[in-house]
Amino acid sequence: MAVSVQELKDKFKELFGGDGEIHAYFAPGRVNLIGEHTDYNGGHVFPCALTIGTYGVIRPRTDRKLRFYSINFSSLGIIETSLDDLVPDEAADWTNYPKGVMWTFEKRGYHLPAGADILIYGDIPAGSGLSSSASLEVLTGLMLRDTFGFDISMVDLALIGQYSENNFNGMNCGIMDQFASAMGKKDCAIFLDTSTLEYEYAPIKLPDAKIVITNSKVKHSLVSSAYNDRRRECETALEDLQKVVDIKTLGDLTEEQFEQYKDAIQDPVCRKRAKHAVYENQRTIRAVQALKANDIETFGKLMNETHVSLRDDFEVSCAETDLLAELAWKVPGVLGSRITGGGFGGCTVSIVKNESVDLFIRSLDKPYKEKTGHKAEFYVVDVGDGAHALD
């Protein structure tokens, strides 16, 4: 964190005045270790919360006005609106995310009695695919819950964040990102069945290895439209399969069942998408079993298989993230490496033996810059807690 909570509160007072009850909160970003594009297909995911994320300072108002300020987007100044104007608006820029959460609160019967002044600061790198939007949604929900005294569970705050992103912001994401931000636990990943929301915490025991995130510094503009396309393609495949087998989601199928029934999927592209969803779900289940057995090597191999599937069957990788993964696979001491997040750029996640971390960074840094013209960024990350109050 580049600034302290006190500095955030001081900035808040400078912008909005120092009267009234002022409180600070934090919601983390996430990295998904395995289980990609399974969360909207009724499969399993295995994310963990990070110690980077989004910070917020809030004070309730006595009128219906909303005033937002982001330190990250300081050139936009204070953005003003009101509870009577909770509609998506391009000019509202980043505030469409907190506005969407407020809109969802209202839709669900949690009527906001007054507006608020809100200051935001995030230390998740922009465009990295580490869920800055979900972090901001969960943060907003938690601030509203505490400020106005609503009785809402953390799981429900995650669902509110997902609903707002789907229906207010038009991004058809699954539940994973918001769930990880709301429900994260230090030094644990969350093994989540997205079809039932049953979950368990699995300790991340990497006695002689680290999680390293590599930011490609590339974000292709395809991401939201192509993400929604992938979701539609999976839904089409599911509809075809449901004519021949009794399933509710693609996550209900084993690999063997998929091979048995796959010819029912008319479109070959949709067949590839469904193959990824089914195989990735089973990979995730096996990976968590391996982790529980302290078999980190198997876990890493399954991560590599995930990258190949995302590249070839789901087609959400890109030249830059493929290069980062391929370079990583050649480094001694790298147990596994793959693209993480929605795709089309963003980050890779790797498990690297402690003695190989410096070699890993050197081995990727120079050739990546030479081949792409982009300078990658490397983060050796810690696994942190979910969203919480800071005071």
Closest to 210 measured CA to CA, from 40, 376, 378: 378
Alpha helix stretches (DSSP H) within 168-214: 176-183
Give the integer Cα–Cα distance in Å for 118 and 16: 9
**Phi/psi of residue 48, each to 5°?**
-135, 150
CA distance 377 to 363: 13
From 37, 342, 382, 379, select the one nearest 220 (Cα to Cα). Answer: 342
What residues have CB less than 8 Å from 14, skipping those under 6 apart? none
Which residue among 39, 177, 240, 313 is the active-site one? 177
Q: Helix H segments across the chain?
A: 5-16, 96-107, 132-148, 154-167, 176-183, 223-241, 255-261, 268-292, 296-312, 319-329, 357-372
User: Can 240 be counted among the known catalytic residues?
Assistant: no
CB burial of residue 246 (10 Å; 0-12, 13-18, 19+): exposed
Q: Using an 8 Å Cβ cutoff, are 114 and 63 in contact?
A: yes
Q: Checking phi first, is residue 322 left (phi over 0); if not, alpha (psi -120 to 50) or beta? A: alpha
Whole-angstrom distance, CA of residue 277 vs CA of residue 364? 29
Q: Tell me the backbone φ, ψ of residue 128, rounded to 5 degrees.
A: -85, -15
By annotation, the residues acting in catalysis are 177
